[in-house]
Amino acid sequence: MPISMIIAVPLASAIFLALSANHINKKVTASVACAAVLASWVTSVSNSLPLFLNAFPGLASSEGSNALERTSGEAMFASEHLYTWFAVDRLSVELAFKLDALAALMVLVVTSVGFLIHLYAAAYMVEDTDYARFFCYMNLFIAAMLTLVLADNLVLLYLGWEGVGVCSYLLIGFWYQDPANGAAARKAFIITRIGDASLMIAILFIAFELGTLQFDEIAAEALRSWPLGSSAAIIVSALLLVGALGKSAQLPLQTWLPDAMAGPTPVSALLHAATMVTAGVYLIARTHELFLLAPAVLGTVATLGALTAFFAACTALFENNIKRVLAYSTISQIGYMFVALGVAGFTAAMFHFVTHAFFKALLFLSAGNVTHCVKETDIRRMGGLRRSRALPGTAAVAAVGTASLAGLPLITSGFYSKDAIFWSTLQSPFARPGLLLLLLVTAALTSLYAFRWYFMIFSGPGSLATDQQINRPRDLMLYPLVVLAAVSLLVGFLEMPDTLGGDRWIKAVSEFLQPVFASAEQRYSLGTSSVFGTDEQTHRAELTLQAVSAAIALLGLIMAYHWYVIRPSWKERLARSSIGRSIAKVLRSGWAADEMYSMVIVTPYRTITHWLRHDPVDDGLDMLAGSVRLSHYLLVLSQNGRIRTYAAGMVIGASLLFLSWLWS
Amino acid sequence: MAIVPTSHVLIVSAILVLIGTFGVLLRRNLLFMLLSLEIMLNGSALAFIAASAHWQQPDGQVFVMFIMAMAAAEVAVGLALILQIYRRVSTLDADALDLMRG
């Protein structure tokens, strides 16, 4: 099956659902939507198979790589060229797709997580009247994200990029009858537009400077014509970075994501886990050659990522809305991915993307089950739901998701992916001092807020638990969670660290992605020259780091258990002290970012628009029009319709002529 | 019979033209305005006669014939118009008839 089928099937399904306009019944609607994503997943698996066989020759008995194109390096990929979109001068933009290891990883995660979320949504949204519209947007969202990932050039990527933006707008504002949802949707759209504009400028800059927009050619041309640290490389990668910051909700463009919780829960899950917010990570990973040419920008990526991770984790600790906690945790976890990208640990970033996609989808869908059952979104009013007969399954899978987010050692995938990021930060030549420390502090906070979230919902006393009115979640709302929980536990074992036998046993993600990043890693000798001298010292350092990160995760768990289960009374003491209250208030409002933007940008902007309401340029033009109108009135006075006035005019004129003739 | 000097005749004709002009400008009744026009025409006709007598040429008298014919035609049309105006708007006040005002 051609690669374009991966995109075409969800797109066709979206068009079909749009045209059906709620006239077909809900079972058919949901079946079409889910089947489309499933078909997309099957297509991507079958297309990625040669890549797997290439990366892991042990799996294939026969030679299975005949469908692949071999380029000068080791890069392996499958590609499909549909037609030339447009060609201007030497610049030609093709409608072409490319499935290399990086794209394959993204596509597999997007379609598999997307499929499970679609299944869940089929049950979750069943009471909604706009069922078909919802699935139409969801399928379109998947199609746009797949376009973004599979695009072979920046323009096609931009098409998917904007498509994702539009779909997120449509889905966040899905319940548009409430004006607050519409406002949240507009906020998401407008703030991401800042990044989009920056990406647009970057694309134009690349087209002008390098004369090509195809990814491999960009990398080759940039390496040929831009020296390391040249201003062109810095400008382009800085512009790309701003684009990625907007889409991935990183500092300073992070404020739209918590408000995006206004959408239905499956949307939040899709937005946070598989699509949209990871687009920025993908963009940087895809253009990593440009970023490596600009080490200053790469350092900024890491710094911004670490700061975002820390700030968002602090806010998540004080947030009380069940979904907004998860939103801040997404911002924080994407911050981890940015750090990994910034220290050139691209494999670690993508690995964390994979694990995060699964456990974050799991957490969001669990939260959806909880809110569906207890009709409540404030976690302070929950508690003890583990004991409720309606939610034991949800409590169990949510525990798996929470443990994964916190990175509990050895059993959860989050531990392995986060550890990969710590390790690449420690040994990277790009890492700045303090970065690792900030990451470790954030890891402690992450574990703390993750378990706070879990304990406040599922443990302790709670009036909701004994309430017999609690709805049971539908069966279809639980099965996808079980799958996601299983994957959240198992996916970590795909990439074991060396200390746990990864080098002897399996490092699937890095081996799979090796064709994409190998040339860059060799050129900058990343990951080969260790800063620790001998192998044994390296081994010991890595083991120490893992012990520290494991201890931190456990410490967070113990602290959360102590503060939120055993002795929850400290909260009242905090509420009594004014300092504690104000700190909590600042943190809960996301470091007052919204207020700051409101003060620095929105208010001055509104003031200026107020001043300019009567456009000064218009005033000048109005004066011209006014003078014309005035002379019109004056001339109209002469045309008073009285014959005697006209006659007088004639007489005066004739007399003047006569007099001038006399005097001449 | 003393010969009237040409200049005197021309002065009379100028006075007639001025009387006609001021009549057209100051009178508001359309009928009087028409009469004033006739006076102006006669004033100019008198000037032609005087000039004709002064230079002993017949052209001026021929011109007066034309002026009289034209005046008769003008009065016929003018009076018909004035009658129609009076039937339609029941007034002959020239200032009231300002339908063409801009």
Higher local confidence (pLDDT), A137 or A493: A137
CA distances in angstroms from A552 to A7, A356, A557, B72, listed in the order given: 42, 19, 9, 123
Task: Give Cβ neighbours of residue A114 (< 8 Å, ≥ 6 apart).
Answer: A37, A40, A41, A138, A142, A145, A270, A274, A275
Q: Where are the domains of chain B?
A: 7-89
Helix (H) or strand (E) holding A94: strand A91-100
Does B102 contact A639 at a Cβ distance shorter than 8 Å? yes
Cα atoms in the 13 Å half-sphere on the side-chain side of A148:
29
Contact in structure between A258 and A590 (CB atoms under 8 Å): yes
A648 touches chain B (CB under 8 A): yes
What was the pLDDT predicted at A33?
Answer: 86
Helix (H) or strand (E) holding A96: strand A91-100
pLDDT digits (tens, 9 = 90+) for A257-283: 888 888 888 888 888 877 788 888 899
B21 touches chain A (CB under 8 A): yes
What was the pLDDT predicted at A659?
Answer: 95
Omega before residue A252 within 30° of 0, cis:
yes
- Please report the DSSP string for A223-285 in residue order: HHHS-TT-HHHHHHHHHHHHHHHHHTT-TTS-THHHHGGGS-HHHHHIIIIISGGGHHHHHHH
Plot region of B66 (φ>0 → left; ψ -120 to 50 → alpha; else → beta): alpha
Plot region of A276 (φ>0 → left; ψ -120 to 50 → alpha; else → beta): left
What was the pLDDT predicted at A575?
Answer: 67
A651 touches chain B (CB under 8 A): yes
How many angstroms separate the CA atoms of A503 and A481, rounded? 32
Give the chain A residue nearest B101 (alpha carbons): A641
**What residue has token string 């005097």?**
A663
Residues (pLDDT < 70) of chain B are 1-2
DSSP state of A432: P
CATH classification number, B7-89, choose in 3.40.50.2300, 3.90.550.40, 1.10.220.150, 1.10.287.3510: 1.10.287.3510
Does B97 contact A641 at a Cβ distance shorter than 8 Å? yes
pLDDT digits (tens, 9 = 90+) for A381-392: 777 777 676 677
Cα torsion for A409, A414, A418, A419, to the nearest 10°? 30
Q: Which pLDDT band holds residue A528 (cuts at 50, 70, 90)?
A: low
CA distances in angstroms from B71 to A646, B14, B51, B78, listed in the order given: 21, 18, 20, 10
What was the pLDDT predicted at A502?
Answer: 58
**Backbone angles phi and psi of A495, in degrees to 5:** -135, 90
- A636 Cα to chain B: minimum distance (Å): 5
- pLDDT of A607 > 80? The answer is yes
The type of residue at A441 is: V
Q: Radius of gyration over alpha carbons of chain B, in Å?
A: 17
Task: Give Cβ neighbours of residue A589 (< 8 Å, ≥ 6 apart).
Answer: A315, A595
DSSP state of B90: S
Flag whether the pTM goes above 0.90.
no
What was the pLDDT predicted at A456?
Answer: 82
**pLDDT averaged over every residue in chain A:** 82
Q: What is the mean pLDDT of residues A346-350?
A: 86
What was the pLDDT predicted at A200?
Answer: 92
**Backbone angles phi and psi of A95, in degrees to 5:** -90, 85
As given in the structure block, the two tokens for residue B70 are 């034209």
Does A642 contact B102 at a Cβ distance shorter than 8 Å? no
pLDDT digits (tens, 9 = 90+) for A393-427: 788 888 888 888 888 887 788 888 888 888 888 87
Among A105-114, A373-382, A475-484, name the one with the lowest average pLDDT.
A373-382
Does A640 contact B97 at a Cβ distance shorter than 8 Å? no
- pLDDT of A65 > 50? The answer is no
DSSP state of A592: T
Neighbours of B33 (CB within 10 A): 22
What was the pLDDT predicted at A71?
Answer: 40
B98 touches chain A (CB under 8 A): yes
How many angstroms separate the CA atoms of A452 and A21, rounded? 43
Mutate to test the interface with A, among B19, B22, B25 (most CBs of A within 10 A): B25
pLDDT digits (tens, 9 = 90+) for A224-256: 888 887 888 888 889 989 988 888 888 788 788
pLDDT digits (tens, 9 = 90+) for A312-344: 888 888 888 888 888 888 888 888 898 888 888
Chain-centre distance for alpha carbon A470: 34
b/e sequence A80-112, b meaning 16+ C-beta within 10 Å: beeeeeeeeeeeebbbbbbbbbbbbbbbbbbbb
SS3 category, A467: coil
- A646 Cα to chain B: minimum distance (Å): 9
- By DSSP bridging, strand A76-88 and strand A91-100 are antiparallel
Does B101 contact A639 at a Cβ distance shorter than 8 Å? yes
Q: Which pLDDT band holds residue A642 (cuts at 50, 70, 90)?
A: confident
CA distances in angstroms from A291 to A91, A98, A229, B92, listed in the order given: 23, 21, 10, 94
What was the pLDDT predicted at A73?
Answer: 40
How many angstroms separate the CA atoms of A615 and A594, rounded? 29
Residues above pLDDT 70, as percent of chain A: 90
- A622 Cα to chain B: minimum distance (Å): 24
Comparing C-alpha atoms, which of A566, A573, A553, A384 is closest to residue A470?
A384
The runs of H, that is alpha helices, within A151-230 are: 154-172, 179-210, 215-225
Higher local confidence (pLDDT), A64 or A97: A97
Helix axes A295-318, A435-458, angle to 10 degrees: 30
| Strand order from edge to edge, sheet including A76-88 | A69-70, A76-88, A91-100
- Please report the DSSP string for B54-79 in residue order: HHT-SHHHHHHHHHHHHHHHHHHHHH
Query: Which residue(s) pair with B93 in the sheet?
Result: B29
Give the chain B residue nearest A649 (alpha carbons): B25
B95 touches chain A (CB under 8 A): yes
Residues from chain B that touch A647, judged by Cβ atoms under 8 A, are 24-25
What was the pLDDT predicted at A72?
Answer: 36
What was the pLDDT predicted at A661?
Answer: 94
A 610-639: CB under 8 A from B = 635-636, 638-639
Task: Give Cβ neighbours of residue B39 (< 8 Å, ≥ 6 apart).
Answer: B16, B17, B19, B20, B23
Comparing C-alpha atoms, which of A546, A520, A536, A535 is closest to residue A430?
A520
Does A644 contact B94 at a Cβ distance shorter than 8 Å? yes
Higher local confidence (pLDDT), A567 or A396: A396
What was the pLDDT predicted at A424?
Answer: 82
A662 touches chain B (CB under 8 A): no
- pLDDT of A67 > 60? The answer is no
How many angstroms separate the CA atoms of A221 and A211, rounded? 9
Q: Which pLDDT band holds residue A81 (cuts at 50, 70, 90)?
A: confident
What was the pLDDT predicted at B65?
Answer: 94
pLDDT digits (tens, 9 = 90+) for A199-215: 999 999 888 888 888 88
How many angstroms separate the CA atoms of B28 and A321, rounded? 89
Mutate to test the interface with B, among A633, A640, A646, A658 (most CBs of B within 10 A): A640
